Structure 1
Amino acid sequence: MANTTTPSGVQVQPVSGFIGAEIGGVDLSTPLPDAQVADLRAALLKWKVIFFRGQHIDHAAQVAFTARFGEVTYAHPHEDEPIPDFPQLLPIDRSRYEKRNGLRRASYENRWHTDVTAAINPPAGSILRAVNVPSFGGDTTWTNLVAAYEGLPAPLRALADGLKAEHRFGARARYPADSALAKRLAANPLVSIHPVVRVHPETGERALFVNPGFTSHLLDVSPSQSDQLLDLFFEQVTKPAYTTRFRWHNGDIAFWDNRATAHLAPQDLDHLDVARVLYRTTITGDVPVGPDGFRSQSVEGAFFGVAEPEALKQYKAQKPARETALV
């Protein structure tokens, strides 16, 4: 658990017992040597989320850094207003969210969630860069889904190993039917069936791959049994012991393994009139596989990668007509 410095100069300082480490000795404004990239990947796989302080980089540098770890996706399956010249960047901007969706809250998903698990291939990783964050409040919390799985009693691990679950956007939320967000969800539905336990493609670790944000129900059990089992699993993945909480400052960056973590957006800002602007990039992921060899299946929607799905392209193309109709 002691702080370490790798031969490439990467400093790794763990911040909690199960998850999270702060990284020093790197400058993300310049291209990183291959050895440092390898050491950062190793730290990410071990600690699940790694943090960089005071890295005041621009959009291009964030995209370039993300690309060292895999193929960079477009911003989001339901993002229809990309940043000019940077379609890979998703703005996490509370004022923008409130303006576009008519909902007063600080983030797109305010429950525990793993990014875009409604897709058949959820992102492998996500990188979030703080540009304008409040001087107090606005912390993000992550949890280690591998530790959560390993913390279950053996009989429950065996049960979870063979279960499957449906994931979809809006699984446990209800948006007004005429809201912009509801219309985007309807125009580009994403629904997938994933194993409840995912085998990590790089480490071989097993992770409890369910989350309150996107997991709607378990398959092959009754609705009552599904609710009770999911409540048990959700309680397990959100136990404080498996979490770490990050206090943001401008210029800070968080990089998390989306295959082995869930995270919780700030819960203390909705009543405050403060700005909060961050930018997220994501790395194309693979199709999850369970301990029994079950591979995730798509119910609706396309792969989440570099190319936008046709439904999203059509929705963007229709934007002027939609706006005219709303006048």
Structure 2
Amino acid sequence: MSTAAVPRPALDKPLMHYGRRILERTAPGAPRAEYRLLGLAPLTPHIGAEITGIDLSRPIGDDLAEELRQALLEWKVVFFRDQHTFGPEHHLALAAVWGEPEANPFFPQGDTVGVSRLAKDATAVGTENIWHSDHSFMAAPALGSVLRAVEVPAAGGDTMWADMGAAYDNLSEETKGRIEGLTAVHDWVPSWGAMMTEEQIARLRERLPAVEHPVVVRHPRTGRKLLYVNEPFTTRIVGLSGAESRDLLDELVLQARIPEFQVRFRWQPDSVAIWDNIAVQHYAINDYYPQRRVMERIAIAGVPLS
């Protein structure tokens, strides 16, 4: 993803925080889940857990599928290790626990329909190091993503995720009141379009126009309030002047950068990650050049947000 045309927030005031953060794993009042078929090892108290005791190359029955869905709702991103016999058919079957696969219009497709193969090495330097939410430039953003590590560098190449429920919860009450009911424009042109000609942009514009989403969305399954703006794709807030919109977006997008809201995962070959694309943003760390990193990804089709 190119970020050449993406404006950067101006860090003209310190982001001091006094007192404890609000770090709730689930929406207030939500019942705690019970798991009989899988083990869970949390990576932080509120976001990210490794799932153990599951071979993803075996059929996923209804009971296990429901526990996997519940685990993702609770932890926002879940991980599996040592899935050595996990192939494209298993990748598709796992994604189907949540919905239909959805192609990213800018990613190369692999040999299997719905699976994108993303390879970065000395001749294709990664440029994906920016906090973002997949497909927010679409009218119905991706519900989630399933990512498998095929080849990873000896060191580096981690991925981070940020809990956008925590990002919202920790806004000031003044800011929460200010953004309630606002919508924002999401557009792919400032990022992906930076690598295209004007003619290519015009052709894609016909099926990928700019879209609007609420600045604060409610999760389609849990109802939890989530901050839904991101650096590369959210271009302005509707109804505000250009300067007001830029200042407010600069403040809001910085929430994803706060370490207390994040989890970081060290990839190994045959690791698999699944994340709730509405509840989190992610950041692929580009520190492994000129080593090689190969991943396979499936996005899960979503619904319009409210």
Task: State the TM-score, normalizing by the size of structure 1.
Answer: 0.78
- Find 1:139's aligned residue among 151, 158, 162: 158
Question: Given that residues 95 and 300 in structure 2 are in contact (C-alpha distance below 8 angstroms), is that contact kept between their aligned partners in structure 1?
Answer: yes
User: SS at 2:59's partner residue?
Assistant: coil
% of aligned pairs identical?
36
Cα distance, 1:13–1:169 mapped onto 2, change above 3 Å: same
Q: Which has the higher helix share?
A: 1
Offset, 1:82: 2.6
Q: Summarize deviations over 1:49-84 as a string: whole Å, max 9, x none.
A: 0011111211111011111221122x31234x5323
Distance 1:49 1:177, change over 3 A: closer
How many pairs align?
Answer: 272
Letter paired with 2:131: W
Query: How far, CA to CA, are the matches of 1:153 and 1:83 in structure 2?
Result: 44
For 2:138, which of 108, 111, 119 is the aligned residue?
Answer: 119
2:97 paired residue among 68, 76, 79: 68
Query: Any idea what SS the aligned residue of 1:115 has?
Result: coil
Match of 1:226 among 245, 253, 259: 245
What displacement does 1:163 show? Answer: 1.3
Shift of 1:17: 2.7
Q: Which residue of 2 aligns with 1:51?
A: 79
Q: Check 1:177–1:6 CA distance in 2 against 1; reply closer, same or farther (3 A cut).
A: closer
Judged with a 3 Å threshold, the aligned counterparts in structure 2 of structure 1 residues 184 and 92 are, in CA distance, closer, same or farther, namely farther
- Give CA deviations for 1:123-142 in whole Å, capped at 9, x if unaligned: 11100000001110000000
Q: How far off its partner does 1:18 sit?
A: 2.8
Aligned counterpart in structure 2 of residue 257 of structure 1, from 276, 281, 285? 276
Q: Distance in 1 between matches of 2:296 and 2:255?
A: 29
What is the aligned partner in structure 2 of residue 295 from structure 1? none
Tell me the residue number matched to 1:324.
Answer: none
Structure 1 residues 185 and 257, CA, compared in 2 at 3 Å: closer, same or farther? farther
Residues 281, 53 of structure 1: CA spacing in aligned structure 2 closer, same or farther, 3 A cutoff? same
Query: Structure 1 residues 183 and 11 mapped into 2: Cα distance closer, same or farther (>3 Å)?
Result: farther
Deviations 1:157-183 (Å, cap 9, x if unpaired)? Answer: 1222221111111335772554xxx76
Task: Return the alpha-carbon distance in structure 2 between the equivalents of residues 283 and 276 of structure 1.
Answer: 22
Aligned to 1:11: 39
User: Is residue 192 from structure 1 mapped to residue 211 from structure 2 by the alignment?
Assistant: yes
CA deviation vs aligned residue, 1:180-234 (integer Å, no higher than 9, x gap): xx76544323221110001111000010000102111111101111111011101
Letter in 2 for 1:244: V
Residue from 266, 274, 277 that aligns with 2:294: 277
| Letter matched to residue 143 of structure 1 | A
Choose from 114, 125, 131 the match for 1:88: 114
Is 1:216 paired with 2:243?
no
Residue 274 of structure 1 and its aligned partner are, at CA, apart by: 1.0
Indicate how the Cα distance of structure 1 residues 241 and 32 shifts in structure 2: closer, same or farther if over 3 A, else same: same
Judge conservation of contact 2:193–2:201 (CA < 8 Å) in 1. no
Partner residue, 2:225: 206
Residue 41 of structure 1 is matched in structure 2 by: 69
Match of 1:317 in 2: none
* 1:158-177 equivalences in 2 (<5 Å): 158-171=177-190, 175-177=194-196
**Separation of aligned partners in 1, 2:94 and 2:60:** 8
Q: Which residue of 1 aligns with 2:29?
A: none
Unaligned runs of 5+ in 2: 1-24, 26-31
